[in-house]
Amino acid sequence: MTETIIRVCMGPGGIAAGGADVLAAFQSGLADAQVSATIENRCTMHKVGCLGLCAKDVLVDIIRNGDKKTYELVTPDMAGRIITEHVIGGTPVAEWLVKDDYHAFHAKQVKVVLSDCGAVDPESIDSYIAAGGYAAVRAVLTSMTRKDVIDLIKNSGLRGRGGAGFPTGVKWENCSNVDADTKYIICNADEGDPGAFMDRAALEGNPHAVLEGMLIGAYAIGARIGYVYVRAEYPLAVERLNLAIRQAAEHGFLGENILGSGFGFTLRIKLGAGAFVCGEETALIASIEGERGMPRPKPPFPVYKGLWGKPTVINNVETLANVPYIIRNGADWFASYGTEKSKGTKVFSLTGKVRNTGLIEVPMGITLREIIHEIGGGIENGRRFKAVQTGGPSGGCIPASMIDLNVDYESLSKAGSIVGSGGMIVLDEDDCMVSVAKYFLQFTQAESCGKCVPCRVGTKRLLEIMERITNGNGQESDLDLLVKLGNDIRQTSLCGLGMTAPNPVLSTIKYFRDEYEAHIRDKKCPAKVCKNLLTFSVIAAACKGCGACLRACPAGAVSGEKKKLHTIDQTRCVKCGACFDACKFKAIAKD
């Protein structure tokens, strides 16, 4: 008898690439072939979460008698042949299988949080249980004290994966030691970094792991009510979370007297409106309470006085998703990965100018070179690697000269960046570092809640200076002013948003000062990105007089007769680049 399992990626990348249509095509094809109805062929198929290499979506796994083959860039019209030749005939369609870059992408990864994402059906609790799910909760509630759980998490070295990297076990212990009639645990799923989709992928791919982690954390601190604070912009994650909560309650993992232990726990979902500042824990608490999402001074810290004045633990999605696997496999197992001070693995969204974009999970301490060139496959289009921006808009830009830097909390902090929640954007020689820093500063300045003056006013002044530089009006004194103002904002802001907002500016001045000087002194953008510093002109030897540039120019700056040399009036040119894009003969120079 032949046993076949078909898994279709329905993570964020898979859905965007047409995963729903691919899934429907396989379902229709299997029904037409009546594969599942025969005794000789037992075939099951289901949707799974992110399979990692989003650049190759839609990805489809075919597991036939335990032998797994993966297909890349699958479209609906490919389903019929895969079913006929591989599922029924047993011969994989070789030209559609993943290539060497797929295997290189996974070779150095170590998956803990993502170990079941891409294997279990995110909409089936039975699928999760079959993979070992909820075994950790059962062990905790039947054979471990709260102190046992906290000690295990402390010994594992698990640190918060949402930004600051505070030791999770210590946070739980502090809250557990507070005597209170009511306590809360909150899952922070308010992922707002541009280009980041780690928490979204985990919630959509394996929501039960997050719920199980919350259950264990709630037991450890003595909380009976929990909240998942998730942005409403993640409708699929919210849908699967709601389904997972209902299924967990039906199976006795939520409610009163869970597994006969006497411990009860209920879970609620709070939808966030997408304010970046609500990723900060006190602003998040204010939002749940129905107030405007604005940070509060600390101390007191939430573990002592949090939601509605009660002791509250807040962990992000990835932190909680690690917990069941640590309980199952032990503290030493988790601590065997990573570095002395940064244990375990970290999930990153690898995006930007790298060939293999996607979701990765790597041991702490891996180098940037290994991530970018081995896992990521290097820079696309043969361009030169320039920098990598880590930690989202609150992180910094690390130059190519530091490509052998270890990726862990201490190393990145020393380099002027942060691990953050796990965003990693690769930049190449065509990127202007001044423009990149301005982009992230625009984001954090717009997302500032405005409560404290250093962040509200300071980031505005920083942005004004950055805009002046990219517009060609920079002054020699601007660089020292940016550094001084950035450090002042860091030291005096109320919350983490303001404290880290200057990081992109400060790190790019530190490592790419020559680019700032070129913008200020030479009124030139070396990467030819800042349009107000560009000059478009016609290359006489290459111009064919076709008129494409003339027709494309919205300002009437281009003139010339057909089949004769055209010219650009610099006084009328608005530097939009339309002429450059329209010319097929590369006769427009951009300087």
Q: Are residues 141 and 211 in the same domain?
A: yes
- Indicate if the pLDDT at residue 402 is higher than 80: yes
- pLDDT score recorded for residue 41: 64
- pLDDT score recorded for residue 244: 97
Which CATH number is 83's domain given?
Answer: 3.40.30.10
Per-residue pLDDT averaged across 169-191, rounded? 95
106 lies in some domain: no
Please state, in angstroms and rounded to a whole number, the distance separating the CA atoms of residues 23 and 21. 5
Q: Are residues 302 and 385 in the same domain?
A: no
Q: Is the peptide bond before 58 cis (omega within 30 degrees of 0)?
A: yes
Q: Are residues 136 and 257 in the same domain?
A: yes
Residue of 431, 208, 470, 390 whose CA lies nearest to 317: 208
In the numeric block, the tokens 């490919």 are attached to 78
Q: Are residues 375 and 279 in the same domain?
A: no
pLDDT band, residue 300 (cuts 50/70/90): very high
What pTM did the predictor assign? 0.90
Q: Are residues 197 and 88 in the same domain?
A: no
Task: Check if the beta carbon of residue 421 is closer than 8 Å to that of residue 196.
Answer: yes
Which CATH number is 398's domain given?
Answer: 3.10.20.600
Please state, in angstroms and rounded to a whole number, the distance separating the CA atoms of residues 536 and 516. 22
> Angle CA(86)–CA(89)–CA(90) in degrees, nearest 5?
55
- Indicate if the pLDDT at residue 566 is higher than 90: yes
- pLDDT score recorded for residue 421: 80
Please state, in angstroms and rounded to a whole number, the distance separating the CA atoms of residues 498 and 228. 25
Q: Are residues 152 and 291 in the same domain?
A: yes
Helices 207-221 & 168-176 angle (0-180, nearest 10): 40
- pLDDT score recorded for residue 35: 59
- pLDDT score recorded for residue 40: 55
Please state, in angstroms and rounded to a whole number, the distance separating the CA atoms of residues 571 and 557. 8
Q: How high does pLDDT run on average in the chain?
A: 93
Please state, in angstroms and rounded to a whole number, the distance separating the CA atoms of residues 188 and 289. 15
- For 449-511, what is the HEC assignment? CCCCHHHHCHHHHHHHHHHHHHCCCCCCCHHHHHHHHHHHHHHHCCCHHHHHCCHHHHHHHHH
- Indicate if the pLDDT at residue 335 is higher than 50: yes
528 lies in some domain: no
Segments forming the whole domain that contains residue 290 = 125-335
Q: Are residues 139 and 232 in the same domain?
A: yes
Q: How far is CA 433 from the centre of its chain?
A: 21
For the purposes of burial, counting CB atoms within 10 Å of the CB of 241, is it exposed (0-12), middle (13-18) or buried (19 or more)?
A: buried
Q: What are 107-148's pLDDT values in tens digits?
A: 999 999 999 988 999 999 999 999 999 999 999 999 999 999
Q: Are residues 166 and 303 in the same domain?
A: yes
Q: Are residues 133 and 51 in the same domain?
A: no
Please state, in angstroms and rounded to a whole number, the distance separating the CA atoms of residues 146 and 76. 50
Out of 405, 428, 451, pick the residue that ends a domain. Answer: 428
105 lies in some domain: no
Residue of 394, 409, 349, 365 whose CA lies nearest to 167: 409
Please state, in angstroms and rounded to a whole number, the distance separating the CA atoms of residues 584 and 253. 64
Residues in the chain: 591
Q: What are 422-477's pLDDT values in tens digits?
A: 889 999 999 999 999 999 999 999 988 889 999 999 999 999 999 999 999 999 99
Phi-psi region of 528 (alpha: psi -120 to 50; beta: other; left: phi over 0): left
Q: What are 364-396's pLDDT values in tens digits?
A: 999 999 999 999 999 988 899 999 999 888 889
HSE, CB side, 13 Å, CA atoms: give it for residue 567: 3
pLDDT band, residue 317 (cuts 50/70/90): very high
139 lies in some domain: yes
Q: Are residues 156 and 229 in the same domain?
A: yes
| More confident of the two residues 198 and 341 | 341
- Indicate if the pLDDT at residue 196 is higher than 90: no
- Indicate if the pLDDT at residue 416 is higher than 70: yes
Please state, in angstroms and rounded to a whole number, the distance separating the CA atoms of residues 262 and 141. 9
Please state, in angstroms and rounded to a whole number, the distance separating the CA atoms of residues 535 and 479. 25
Please state, in angstroms and rounded to a whole number, the distance separating the CA atoms of residues 165 and 171. 11
pLDDT band, residue 37 (cuts 50/70/90): very low
What are the structure tokens assigned to 587, written together?
């006769």
Per-residue pLDDT averaged across 525-546, rounded? 92
- pLDDT score recorded for residue 92: 95
Least confident piece of the model among 29-43, 59-73, 89-103: 29-43
Residue of 22, 78, 15, 75 whose CA lies nearest to 49: 15
Q: Is the peptide bond before 300 cis (omega within 30 degrees of 0)?
A: yes
CA 228 vs CA 236, 315, 319, 477: distances in Å:
14, 10, 13, 47
Q: Are residues 401 and 493 in the same domain?
A: no
Q: Are residues 402 and 444 in the same domain?
A: no
HSE, CB side, 13 Å, CA atoms: give it for residue 584: 5
Q: Considering its fold, how many domains does the chain have in total?
A: 5
493 lies in some domain: yes
Pairing state between β 225-231 and 184-189: parallel
Out of 63, 98, 133, pick the residue that ends a domain. Answer: 98
- Indicate if the pLDDT at residue 177 is higher than 80: yes
Q: Percentage of the chain surpassing pLDDT 90?
A: 81
The kind and range of the H/E element at 177 are none
What are the structure tokens assigned to 184, written together?
């809360």
395 lies in some domain: yes
Pairing state between β 67-71 and 184-189: unpaired
- pLDDT score recorded for residue 381: 87
- Indicate if the pLDDT at residue 222 is higher than 50: yes
Please state, in angstroms and rounded to a whole number, the distance separating the CA atoms of residues 183 and 530. 52
